[in-house]
Amino acid sequence: MNLLIKGGRVIDPSQKLDGTLDVLVENGVVKEIGKGLVAPAGAETIDASGKYVVPGLIDMHVHLRDPGLEYKEDIISGTRAAAAGGFTSVCCMPNTKPTIDNKAIASYIINKAKAEGFANVFPVGSITYGLNGDRMSEMGELKEAGCVAVSDDGKPVNNPELMRRALEYARGMGILVITHAEELSLVGEGVMNEGFTSTEIGLKGIPRIAEDIATARDVMLAEYTKSPIHIAHVSTDGSVRIIREAKARGVMVTCETAPHYFTLTDDAVRGYNTNAKMNPPLREATDVAAIKAGLKDGTIDAIATDHAPHHLDEKDVEFDVAMNGIIGLETSLPLSLKLVDDGVLTLGQLIEKMSCNPSNILGLSRGTLKAGAVADITVIDPVVRWTVEADKLASKSKNSPFLGWNVTGAAACTVLAGRVVHKL
Amino acid sequence: MHGRGDLMANEKTVIMDNSGIKRAVTRISHEILERNKGLADVVLIGIRSGGAFLAEEIGRVTEVIEGVKAPVGAVDITLYRDDVSGHLPHQAVGKTDIPFSLEGKRVVLVDDVLFTGRTIRAAMDAMMDHGRPACIQLAVLIDRGHRELPIRADFVGRNVPTSIKENVAVLFDDRNQPVEVVLEK
Amino acid sequence: MAEFKHKDIIALRDLTKEEMELLLSTAESMREINSRDIKKVPTLRGKTIINLFYEASTRTRTSFEIAGKRLSADTVNITTSSSSTTKGETLADTALNLLAMKPDIIVMRHSVSGSHYFLSSKMPGCSIINAGDGTHEHPSQGLLDMLTIKDRFGRLDGLKVAIVGDITHSRVARSNIQGLTKMGSSLFLAGPPTMMPPGAERLGNVTVCGSMQEAIQDADVVMMLRIQQERQGKTLMPNAREYSRYFGLNPQNLKLAKPDAMVMHPGPINRGVEMSSYVVDGGQSHILKQVENGVAVRMAMLYHVCGGELE
């Protein structure tokens, strides 16, 4: 299974590469990058002219719902959606049923993904056992089983003492803590961002300070314990500022945002659109601007989707009752490419945030096309125009606020360890 | 000038002029007094909008003749229409203004044009909801025929044979005084 | 005169000034029926109205029921205690089941803002009237308040209307702000900052006041909102006693308003909290007129949605 990807614009920030080149893949690894490479006998050739050839994209924050909630998504459908969206690796959050708080569940996910999946799946174990916020899970064994981080994503670790100890303990085990920063007492019964829109349409608001306070707390705990921390789904102006200042002080903090936080505002909720309901909620224009500024100046390291599939029955309900979250794997690339069009990021910076940085943050040994690296490669068609339609999505769930949107850019071809897993 | 019906049609004939209307109203007034042996227990109820103006007019004329004033009220029959469940947007509901009891009264319903009889049917239902009158009589300025219900006027200004496609309208001036009656093809 | 072409009445934000004027004009005509011995007209004979109440409300439900009956519709009441919701049926399924029984109008009260739009999407061909949704709108209350003000002043434009209380959680305030702004009134809101939502000043022709005194100064109308101890009592105010000291209407601070100012309250009243009994029962109180107008306004709403063409 050899492969020659010819004539594309190869962009690999890991080796500061940007030029029209050929990529030769042999036995699942990158053999050579250069001009005028000749395909060995029996190799498949992909014409990438007019396309970008980049290290396989990595989504460090998805929910695959497997095991236990397969009616929303499973490892096969979820990784198929990943491949369609140009992602060769995803990190799946532990709020499955049962929770990824032990070696057996982690192994099940890894094995199933290896056997049947269309992308690498790196599980994230839980910080606390059963996500109950009460007792640390077996982080050492989770790491051994293949978990690349721990997180209670979906809810915060409310108890500051427990969070402090988790950061310390995880540091000792060499595993990263990803925090869902949210102060629940400030969220109350809120269901959308607190602002003029919530005032006008009469939905209970979630103030930005609920995120900011928790971000500040976790950054301070990381600073105090000299432990690394990663802040998930940053959505507010305040959080960006707190992280920027912490980074300047040398705190080992990294963070991610999601395409919806730099694409939509809480105006999308008008009409009580449950597909615009997520946690943290869509914010306001000032926050969108701050997120873009944070991406531009490097405060925000990664773009992750927080792909959160929910069944129609969980979204086709009254707004307060609807579940939080939207799918994102198949819309992330075009929405993120727009940052390049809009001059927020260079193409190289975008690839860093969608591939190199997530790999570095989590130690995945991906995010590069260096000779000898695993041949996870995404070929991007930057000009193809398409419409987001429910029945064309590979994900089992269709809960996207972008349905009906006309977007530009898609994964023309996704290569997983030298094997073509998706072609447009 | 205003009146019932949409006066956009080209061909318009005056079938009763102002003095004709005055004579008809005077005659109807005399007939009402004769039939009811005066104005004792008589109340005049005009059907909005044209009938209400005519009822006021008959009230004035009968007062001149008789020296006493019969109570005059107005009824809006929108809520009693039999085509209210149609698919058209509901029209505004006019005010029914009957500030006295109809119990035991001799009600003279007044309308400008008697046509299918459906408006009168609705108005009689409305009267019944205001009490139990001793009797209901009907006075109209024009009877143009084409009845769809068994209804007959007691007092008629003029019978005007018409085709179903024609329109008859009583026009009123700004002070709601009847001006003329026109027939449109 | 404007035509009313809406299938539903969910929010006054969705209606034009002309449409609200039509509803108010029809309501004025409906009042005549309510003063008769025989308080019934045959207009909605054969129509079925379901009052679907997911929150307890004696007043609004009774008012809608009477309104329907006076128009000769058949009205059926469903309240949460007797519905399938306690057995876990979704609103969507409830809608489909009710739709199978071919009602003409559903009057719903629901605790979730916007749930009427959801219900309407599930019930084509059936009119939906909002009898209060969460903290969003309460259009029939807004209309009856406007009718009561119009009765008193003969107009709505150019009036100064003060609304005092928990604006954040008040659907009555939202409907009045939407409706009265379109009608040309000026609104002055007051309440503790814990009860003032962000951007309140952008809701309409609204001034957010720093104190209750500022809001009611020279007001034509003083509208007091209900304080629910179970909601506001937790974190939004110290207690009812202090609230009433700073945000309660009493004969003394009412003197700040115009001498002929009218006092209103959507009910039910906590006497001694948001209003002193001297004001509730005083000469400037129009609270019972609001209730009286409620029936006529709801008759007008039922009448007009029944005639509306599908949008």
What tens digit of pLDDT does each residue of C184-201 get? Answer: 999 999 999 999 999 999
Question: Residue C84: what pLDDT?
Answer: 46
The DSSP code sequence of A108-139 is: HHHHHHHHH-SSEEEEEE-SBGGG-SSSB--H
Quick one: three-class SS letters along A329-351? CCCHHHHHHHHHHCCCCCHHHHH
Tell whether the model's pLDDT for residue C158 goes beyond 70.
yes
Tell me the CATH class for C139-290.
Answer: alpha beta
Question: Residue C311: what pLDDT?
Answer: 35
Write the CATH number for B142. 3.40.50.2020
Cα angle for residues A323, C125, C5 (degrees, 5° grid): 105
Between B81 and A339, where is the model more confident? A339
Contacts of B130 in chain C (CB under 8 A): 36-38
Distance, in Å, from the CA atom of B99 to the CA atom of B162, rounded to the nearest integer, reads 37
Domains C12-137+291-307 and C139-290 share a fold: yes
Express each pLDDT in C225-274 by its tens digit: 999 777 766 789 999 999 999 999 999 999 999 999 999 999 899 999 99
Cβ separation C136–A319 shorter than 8 A: no
Chain centroid, CA A12 distance in Å: 19
Largest CA distance in chain B: 49
Which residues of A belong to the active site? Answer: 306
* Boundaries of domain holding B13: 2-80+96-184
Question: Residue B3: what pLDDT?
Answer: 60
Does residue C192 have a cis peptide bond before it, meaning omega lies within 30 degrees of 0?
Answer: no
Distance, in Å, from the CA atom of A128 to the CA atom of A151, rounded to the nearest integer, reads 8
Distance, in Å, from the CA atom of C268 to the CA atom of C290, rounded to the nearest integer, reads 12
Q: How is residue B87 written in tokens?
A: 């698919």
CA dihedral of residues B3, B4, B6, B11 (deg, nearest 10):
-70
Amino acid letter, residue A187? V
Task: Tell me the residues of C at the A interface, defined by beta carbons under 8 Å apart.
Answer: 13, 90-92, 110-115, 117-118, 133-137, 168, 171, 174, 197-200, 202-203
Tell whether the model's pLDDT for residue C309 goes beyond 50.
no
Stretch 185-224 of chain A: residues touching chain C, C-beta under 8 Å: 194-196, 198-205
Q: How many angstroms away from the CA of B84 is the closest CA of chain C?
A: 7
Contacts of C168 in chain A (CB under 8 A): 199
Task: Please report which helix (H) or strand (E) contains residue A47, including its range.
Answer: strand A44-47
Q: Number of residue pairs across A and C with CB atoms under 8 Å?
A: 68
Tell whether the model's pLDDT for residue B83 goes beyond 80.
no
Stretch 121-140 of chain B: residues touching chain C, C-beta under 8 Å: 125-126, 129-131
**Residue A125: closest CA among A112, A142, A108:** A142
Task: Please report which helix (H) or strand (E) contains residue A151, including its range.
Answer: strand A149-151
Contacts of B125 in chain C (CB under 8 A): 42
Give the sheet arrangement for strand C262-264, strand by strand: C206-208, C186-190, C160-164, C221-224, C262-264
Q: Is A285 on the interface with C (CB under 8 A)?
A: no
Residue B35 burial class via C-beta count within 10 angstroms: exposed 0-12, middle 13-18, buried 19 and up: middle
pLDDT band, very low/low/confident/very high, at C306 (cuts 50, 70, 90): confident
In a domain, B87, yes or no: no
Q: What is the mean pLDDT of chain A?
A: 97
Distance, in Å, from the CA atom of C184 to the CA atom of C187, rounded to the nearest integer, reads 10
In a domain, B134, yes or no: yes
Residue C250 burial class via C-beta count within 10 angstroms: exposed 0-12, middle 13-18, buried 19 and up: middle
Residue B34 burial class via C-beta count within 10 angstroms: exposed 0-12, middle 13-18, buried 19 and up: exposed
Express each pLDDT in C122-131 by its tens digit: 998 899 999 9
CA distances to A20, A181, C185 from C176, in Å: 64, 38, 10
In a domain, B91, yes or no: no
**Residue B23: closest CA among B160, B153, B178:** B178
Distance, in Å, from the CA atom of A401 to the CA atom of A404, rounded to the nearest integer, reads 9
Tell whether the model's pLDDT for residue A230 goes beyond 90.
yes
- Backbone φ and ψ for C276, nearest 5 degrees, come out as -80, 150
Distance, in Å, from the CA atom of A21 to the CA atom of A355, rounded to the nearest integer, reads 19
Homologous superfamily in CATH for domain C12-137+291-307: Aspartate/ornithine carbamoyltransferase (3.40.50.1370)
Amino acid letter, residue C284? Q
Q: Is C48 on the interface with B (CB under 8 A)?
A: no
Contact between C29 and B95 under an 8 Å Cβ cutoff? The reply is yes
**Rounded mean pLDDT of A147-174?**
97
Among B84, B101, B118, B132, which would you mutate to test the C interface (most chain C Cβ atoms within 10 Å of its Cβ)? B84
Query: B8: Cβ–Cβ under 8 A, 6 or more apart, which residues?
Result: none
- Backbone φ and ψ for C221, nearest 5 degrees, come out as -130, 135
Tell whether the model's pLDDT for residue A246 goes beyond 80.
yes
DSSP conformation class of A352: I
C36-52 burial string, b = 16+ CB within 10 Å, else e? eeeeebbbbeebbbbbb
pLDDT band, very low/low/confident/very high, at B72 (cuts 50, 70, 90): very high
Cβ separation C25–B97 shorter than 8 A: no
- In this structure, chain B runs to a length of 185
Measured between CA atoms, the residue of chain A closest to residue C119 is A318
Question: Residue B92: what pLDDT?
Answer: 80
How many domains is chain B partitioned into structurally?
1
Of residues C90, C91, C171, nearest to A202 (C-beta): C171
Topology of domain A53-362, CATH:
TIM Barrel (3.20.20)
Q: Is A161 on the interface with C (CB under 8 A)?
A: no
Express each pLDDT in A185-221 by its tens digit: 999 999 999 999 999 999 999 999 999 999 999 999 9
Lowest mean pLDDT among A274-283, B87-96, B128-137: B87-96
Express each pLDDT in A80-95 by its tens digit: 999 999 999 999 999 9
Question: Residue C81: what pLDDT?
Answer: 56
Among C18, C20, C26, which would you mutate to test the B interface (most chain B Cβ atoms within 10 Å of its Cβ)? C26
Amino acid letter, residue A37? L
Domain ranges of chain C: 12-137+291-307, 139-290
Domains A3-52+374-423 and A53-362 share a fold: no
Q: What ranges in chain B are assigned the alpha helix state H?
A: 18-36, 50-66, 118-128
Q: How many angstroms away from the CA of B65 is the closest CA of chain C?
A: 32
Contact between A317 and C112 under an 8 Å Cβ cutoff? The reply is no
The DSSP code sequence of C49-85 is: EEEEESS--HHHHHHHHHHHHHTT-EEEEEEGGGSGG
Distance, in Å, from the CA atom of A353 to the CA atom of A379, rounded to the nearest integer, reads 16
Question: Residue C310: what pLDDT?
Answer: 38
The DSSP bridge partners found for residue B183 are B13, B168
Express each pLDDT in A360-390 by its tens digit: 999 999 999 999 999 999 999 999 999 999 9
Contacts of B129 in chain C (CB under 8 A): 36, 38, 40-41
Distance, in Å, from the CA atom of A342 to the CA atom of A409, rounded to the nearest integer, reads 14
Question: Residue A388: what pLDDT?
Answer: 98
Question: Residue C56: what pLDDT?
Answer: 84
Q: Number of residue pairs across B and C with CB atoms under 8 Å?
A: 67
CA distances to A261, A308, A323, C113 from A277, in Å: 12, 11, 7, 14
Q: Is A270 on the interface with C (CB under 8 A)?
A: no
Cβ separation C22–B92 shorter than 8 A: yes
Question: Residue C87: what pLDDT?
Answer: 57
Express each pLDDT in C14-59 by its tens digit: 999 999 999 999 999 999 999 888 899 999 999 999 999 998 888 9
Cβ separation B76–C29 shorter than 8 A: yes
Tell whether the model's pLDDT for residue A276 goes beyond 80.
yes
Express each pLDDT in B23-49 by its tens digit: 999 999 999 999 999 999 999 999 998
Q: What ranges in C71-133 are assigned the alpha helix state H?
A: 91-99, 115-122
The residue behind tokens 């193409």 is A347
Whole-prediction pTM? 0.91
Of residues C92, C168, C200, nearest to A317 (C-beta): C92
Measured between CA atoms, the residue of chain C closest to residue A274 is C118
Question: Residue B17: what pLDDT?
Answer: 93
Does residue B49 have a cis peptide bond before it, meaning omega lies within 30 degrees of 0?
Answer: yes
Measured between CA atoms, the residue of chain A closest to residue C196 is A199
Q: What is the mean pLDDT of chain B?
A: 90
- Backbone φ and ψ for A374, nearest 5 degrees, come out as -55, 135
In a domain, B86, yes or no: no
For residue A160, the tally of other CB atoms under 10 A from its CB is 12
Cβ separation A318–C110 shorter than 8 A: yes
- Backbone φ and ψ for C79, nearest 5 degrees, come out as -115, 160
Tell me the CATH class for A3-52+374-423.
Answer: mainly beta
Of residues A196, A201, A316, nearest to C113 (C-beta): A201
Domain ranges of chain A: 3-52+374-423, 53-362
Express each pLDDT in C58-95 by its tens digit: 899 999 999 999 999 999 999 875 444 555 788 899 89
For residue C290, the tally of other CB atoms under 10 A from its CB is 22
Question: Residue C82: what pLDDT?
Answer: 45
- In this structure, chain C runs to a length of 311
**Residue B90: closest CA among B104, B69, B71, B76:** B76
